[in-house]
């Protein structure tokens, strides 16, 4: 017996309201299906396929390549920082892939909201864990001030996640993460002024912030599909461009953190 072909794709007006969030993507929507049906959609063309693979391919790359760039046999503190960095790199694309694969599940809007929250948790993890080495190398061997800075930053990230989950639109969701971004930029500026950590890490950190902001703005603006509705339903729409910019941002974060961790491994804190 021949395997069943892909399901018939739907126009925007025929999918549930919670999936109609982009008014400029007019077709290519998957019908509601089971979990197996969602997984089967990895292998036929629809308007979420690009969103899945623009984070799925970077996910595989980060899983395989990040560990080899970190210091070998580092001090314990640096090893923990490396583990957190690994989680920070893989969490956003992993959560995003899960969200985009299963968003058309027949369980409906309730499951969709939980998947969206999972996706935002991936963003929160890279915001939180991704910045720990940046802050640590700004205050090396000073556990009191470093702990206070990390606690303050963690509180900002928690508030950002809370605001993003409850945000009414993409613009407000993007704005919710402004506080942690400004904190990171302030730390990078401080490090540049006083010369702590790896100097060559600062430029990748700055580029990471620029790429993340650009990706968020592209996603909010809905370009280029805003200019030609229906022409970018499958490829090169704003969400896919945002995914690529975010993946590049995580790559720059990785380059910066790898440089910082090698620096920290060469400058261990003195033992009592």
CATH numbers and ranges of domains, the chain: 32-266 (1.20.1070)
Average pLDDT over residues 196-210: 96
Give the separation between CA 227 and CA 60, rounded to whole angstroms: 33
Residues in Cβ contact with 219 at an 8 Å cutoff, skipping those fewer than 6 apart:
170, 174, 238, 239, 241, 242
Contact status, residue 111 vs residue 35, Cβ threshold 8 Å: no
Asked if omega into 130 is within 30° of 0 (cis), the reply is no
Contact status, residue 204 vs residue 192, Cβ threshold 8 Å: no
Give the separation between CA 37 and CA 70, rounded to whole angstroms: 39
Give the separation between CA 133 and CA 220, rounded to whole angstroms: 30
Residue 254 has pLDDT above 60, yes or no: yes
Per-residue pLDDT tens over the stretch 28-76: 999 999 999 999 999 999 999 999 999 999 999 999 999 999 999 889 9
pLDDT at site 202: 97
Which of the four pLDDT bands, split at 50, 70 and 90, describes residue 168?
confident
Which of the four pLDDT bands, split at 50, 70 and 90, describes residue 78?
very high
Residue 2 or residue 18, greater confidence: 18
What does each C-alpha distance from 175 to 21, 152, 172 come to in angstroms? 18, 19, 5
Contact status, residue 161 vs residue 118, Cβ threshold 8 Å: no
Average pLDDT over residues 83-89: 98
Average pLDDT over residues 96-108: 98
Give the separation between CA 206 and CA 144, rounded to whole angstroms: 26
Contact status, residue 96 vs residue 123, Cβ threshold 8 Å: no
Which of the four pLDDT bands, split at 50, 70 and 90, describes residue 271?
low
Which pTM does this prediction carry?
0.94
Q: Which of 51-60, 84-93, 164-173 has the weakest average pLDDT?
A: 164-173
Q: Compute the mean pLDDT over every residue in the chain, rounded to the nearest whole number.
A: 95
Neighbours of 47 (CB within 10 A): 23
């Amino acid at each position: 017996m021949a395997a069943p072909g892909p399901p018939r794709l739907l126009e925007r007006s025929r999918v549930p309201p919670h999936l109609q969030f982009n008014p400029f993507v007019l077709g290519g929507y998957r019908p509601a299906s089971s979990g197996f049906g969602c997984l089967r959609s990895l292998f036929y063309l629809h308007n979420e396929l690009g969103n899945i693979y623009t984070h799925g391919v970077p996910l595989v790359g980060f899983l395989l390549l990040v560990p080899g760039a970190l210091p070998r046999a580092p001090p314990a503190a640096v090893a923990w920082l490396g583990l957190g960095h690994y989680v920070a790199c893989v969490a956003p694309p992993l959560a995003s892939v899960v969200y985009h694969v299963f968003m058309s599940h027949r369980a409906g809007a309730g499951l969709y909201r939980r998947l969206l929250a999972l996706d935002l948790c991936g963003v929160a993890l890279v915001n939180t864990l991704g910045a720990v080495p940046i802050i640590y190398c700004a205050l090396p061997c000073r556990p009191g001030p470093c702990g206070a800075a990390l606690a303050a930053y963690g509180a900002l990230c928690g508030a950002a996640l809370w605001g993003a989950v409850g945000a009414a639109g993409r613009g407000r969701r993007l704005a919710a993460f402004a506080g942690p971004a400004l904190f990171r930029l302030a730390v990078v500026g401080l490090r540049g002024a006083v010369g702590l950590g790896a100097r060559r890490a600062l430029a990748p950190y700055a580029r990471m912030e620029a790429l993340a902001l650009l990706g968020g703005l592209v996603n909010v603006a809905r370009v280029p599909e805003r200019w030609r509705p229906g022409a970018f339903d499958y490829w090169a729409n704003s969400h896919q461009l945002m995914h690529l910019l975010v993946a590049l941002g995580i790559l720059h974060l990785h380059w910066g953190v790898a440089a910082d961790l090698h620096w920290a491994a060469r400058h261990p804190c003195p033992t009592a």
